[in-house]
Structure 1
């Protein structure tokens, strides 16, 4: 009885949509982990009674770990394919969350959360999603990446308020024991059964909404997770040429500075709002609301980037993030609700543009056979920003007693990132590198 409707779906399917669904779910997991960090930061700081600098260093170690392992993850993605790599990421997250929930001192979290969680999150992050998904939709990659990237704010919308609520009811340890299995079940089984390699010649893929069903092999994707060894030398030489060019390093710099500015603010956002006399639940709900708005903002900006260019969308988005930071910094007083609402609108509509535009630009410039490795290098820049941003923000708070200097410096970093994004346009143009 069920075979008829299932067959109808298959007869009108393009297998890239299966990959899209998997990418969306992976990014929901990443969004849940990454954006719950401010809630966990506040809980750990209170529980262990440590300084903002020391507590934020846990998440900085995560950034350092991501910067180190991202090129390796990208290389493994090109060599082994996503079918086994992504479930392995889900398993690492499960084990890391469970181990973190049993620690007896803060330093142990540097290992289990700062290192292991970061490894799992890096495997399931936006750069691997971009590398796997973009080749399936060569004519509309900005729109598709934007819609897939909406999974990240969906995870933020669900898991940030949920994490805060669970921390208030069952504590941060119990929260980790609940979230770990949830993230594993979302990431591992579906990727193992349905994930496939991206096609090597993406320009030949038919993106028809209605057409005959294509298997992964027919669509250009590979069922075989084993690497194609005869292509390894050519891929290696191509990657070396890419590394000698300026465009990739402009993208790395843009990703690094944007992440640095973002992490100087986002990790400390709950603590900032609490210091401004808002409640912790109001702060967590604000971050969740940003994710809710971003679910519409990311597909919109992704689609617009296909028409007006990655650089212009990036510039507008970063400008909105700067405006959001300045709004809460200058006008957030604990009594007025409208600064929070304005922050939610500005940040929600621009959230994720840094990764989305850079990833789409990389897919524009570089071949799919090297895209995993390229995005791994770009992701390492993001990891540097995630490493330095939280500690720098915490250090400035401990020295100044408020977040004025930290948030102001974040504005400068984000502004410079825009210049590097335009540098990628100038040095690389629009076509394949």
Structure 2
């Protein structure tokens, strides 16, 4: 039986010749867009847990007497496992399929967040929110968006990746005001149950609509030409051995360390400090937690705009230059933040929210593009390891910021330190200059 793809006279990829002819209208969208839509729903629906500890820090402190540092440790465990799971998730998706891995991840998040209603000790928070939610979220980390955009798209890869990356911000936009209202009016247990139920609900469209590869439907990736090799095709390596092999090859490449170092600073200055401590820091200055949560959600609004725009720019501008601009502007905004906090929302503080939101995860599309350029078919796994460094940086910052708050009574040193780290990220990105390496074909060693 032949499996060769053919191209009809209208230029669209045809289905396999030995299957029933494709009688769809010519205006029907490529199935890649359906897969992208389902992926976006998954990322939106599973995003509610990300800022939940910041919302519940005050409630847990009041009910259990846990310090900011203690809660920060649970967040740090979550971020570390999120990061360490990410590189293996890409290989697991290759071996067992995106659909199975994603559904299992969503259910793990649901169980982990749901069980927190029974906790009475800090170790139980670490087990549920740290280990279970961390493992589940890591399985759908950057590997998920990178795998989907790489398998299903040749054209518009940067744009699609930007939209999927912004899905988490969209989730925060939707969940934060709701969860904040629930915490204030119904208690924190109602809020975590909403997170649990939503993570379960979005697994249904994954089961019904997700497909592994375009070839499963007799299609080429969106924008691909007939005869073009599958850039995401992989060998038959076992998931664990392949992930470790890719790491061994990547650590011999200078660009890997520069990307990993700069991206770890990205994690420290986003999920580590701002994502975890923005709400309690604003509350320290007299701002109601519901108002602070709404502002964090507003950051999510502009994060969507900034990340999608970054994906669009990544298709057109040198990714290294984009990273230089993003880190420099982020550092400047964080250094100014301690002077902007107040009991009410004033124009300078609103300007920070807009400015910082545009920059929140705008670093992801250019970082992924540089991984693809350097590591070719192994890029999803390499980016998984880079993302592990991102989460490790976030984990260290989450605990450190909480400890600084407990010791000094405010977060000022945390914000100043985050700004200084962004300056270091600029220096690391300067080291990325030079002629980009050619894309590595599947199975070939990475360029050095």
Who is 1:207 aligned against? 222
Q: How does the TM-score come out when normalised to structure 1?
A: 0.86
Who is 1:397 aligned against? 405
RMSD (Å) for aligned C-alpha atoms: 3.2
Q: Does 1:252 align with 2:253?
A: no
Q: Distance in 1 between matches of 2:208 and 2:96?
A: 15
Structure 1 residues 387, 170: CA separation in 2 closer, same or farther (over 3 Å shift)? same
Q: Distance in 2 between matches of 1:306 and 1:228?
A: 28
Structure 1 residues 335, 88: CA separation in 2 closer, same or farther (over 3 Å shift)? closer
Structure 1 residues 50, 427: CA separation in 2 closer, same or farther (over 3 Å shift)? farther
Residue 364 of structure 1: how far off its partner (Å) = 2.8
Who is 1:373 aligned against? 381
Q: Distance in 2 between matches of 1:235 and 1:10?
A: 40
Alignment partner of 1:32: what SS? coil
State whether residues 199 and 219 of structure 1, in contact with CA within 8 Å, keep that contact through their aligned partners in structure 2: no
Who is 2:140 aligned against? 124
Alignment partner of 1:353: what SS? coil
18-27 or 51-60: bigger deviation: 18-27
Who is 1:196 aligned against? 211
State whether residues 84 and 138 of structure 2, in contact with CA within 8 Å, keep that contact through their aligned partners in structure 1: no
Who is 1:304 aligned against? 313
92-101 or 248-257: bigger deviation: 248-257
Alignment partner of 1:366: what SS? helix
Who is 1:364 aligned against? 373
Q: Does 1:419 align with 2:427?
A: yes
Structure 1: give runs of 5+ residues left out of the alignment: 1-6
Structure 1 residues 150, 238: CA separation in 2 closer, same or farther (over 3 Å shift)? closer
142-151 or 269-278: bigger deviation: 142-151
Q: Distance in 1 between matches of 2:413 and 2:242?
A: 48
Q: Distance in 2 between matches of 1:304 and 1:319?
A: 17
Q: Which of 149, 154, 158 is residue 165 of structure 2 equivalent to?
A: 149
* Between structures 1 and 2, the one with greater helix share: 1
Who is 1:138 aligned against? 154
Who is 2:14 aligned against? none
Structure 1 residues 64, 10: CA separation in 2 closer, same or farther (over 3 Å shift)? farther
Q: Does 1:229 align with 2:236?
A: yes
Matched pairs, number: 414
Q: Distance in 2 between matches of 1:190 and 1:10?
A: 25
State whether residues 246 and 427 of structure 1, in contact with CA within 8 Å, keep that contact through their aligned partners in structure 2: no
Higher relative contact order (CA 8 A, sep 6+): 1
Q: Distance in 1 between matches of 2:344 and 2:104?
A: 46
Residue 196 of structure 1: how far off its partner (Å) = 3.2
Who is 2:364 aligned against? 355
Matches within 5 A, 1:15-414: 15-186=31-202, 188-198=203-213, 205=220, 207=222, 229=236, 240-262=248-270, 263-335=272-344, 337-368=346-377, 370-414=378-422
State whether residues 162 and 364 of structure 2, in contact with CA within 8 Å, keep that contact through their aligned partners in structure 1: no
Q: Distance in 1 between matches of 2:423 and 2:277?
A: 20
Q: Distance in 1 between matches of 2:432 and 2:155?
A: 21
Q: Distance in 1 between matches of 2:91 and 2:221?
A: 27
State whether residues 158 and 369 of structure 2, in contact with CA within 8 Å, keep that contact through their aligned partners in structure 1: yes
Who is 2:10 aligned against? none
Alignment partner of 1:150: what SS? helix
Decide which structure has the larger Cα Rg and report it: 2
State whether residues 265 and 421 of structure 2, in contact with CA within 8 Å, keep that contact through their aligned partners in structure 1: yes
Structure 2: give runs of 5+ residues left out of the alignment: 1-22, 441-446
C-alpha offsets along residues 372-410 of structure 1, whole Å, 9 cap, x if unaligned? 321221121122112211111011122222111111001
Who is 1:3 aligned against? none
Structure 1 residues 243, 155: CA separation in 2 closer, same or farther (over 3 Å shift)? same
C-alpha offsets along residues 166-206 of structure 1, whole Å, 9 cap, x if unaligned? 111221112111220112211x2222333333569xxx956
Alignment partner of 2:222: what SS? coil
Structure 1 residues 378, 423: CA separation in 2 closer, same or farther (over 3 Å shift)? same
Residue 311 of structure 1: how far off its partner (Å) = 1.8
State whether residues 141 and 360 of structure 1, in contact with CA within 8 Å, keep that contact through their aligned partners in structure 2: no
Q: Distance in 2 between matches of 1:141 and 1:270?
A: 34
C-alpha offsets along residues 211-240 of structure 1, whole Å, 9 cap, x if unaligned? 9xx9xxx99699x9xx86389999986664
C-alpha offsets along residues 336-369 of structure 1, whole Å, 9 cap, x if unaligned? 511331122101211212333222321232223x
Who is 1:4 aligned against? none
Q: Distance in 2 between matches of 1:10 and 1:178?
A: 41
Residue 156 of structure 1: how far off its partner (Å) = 1.0
Q: Distance in 1 between matches of 2:149 and 2:388?
A: 20
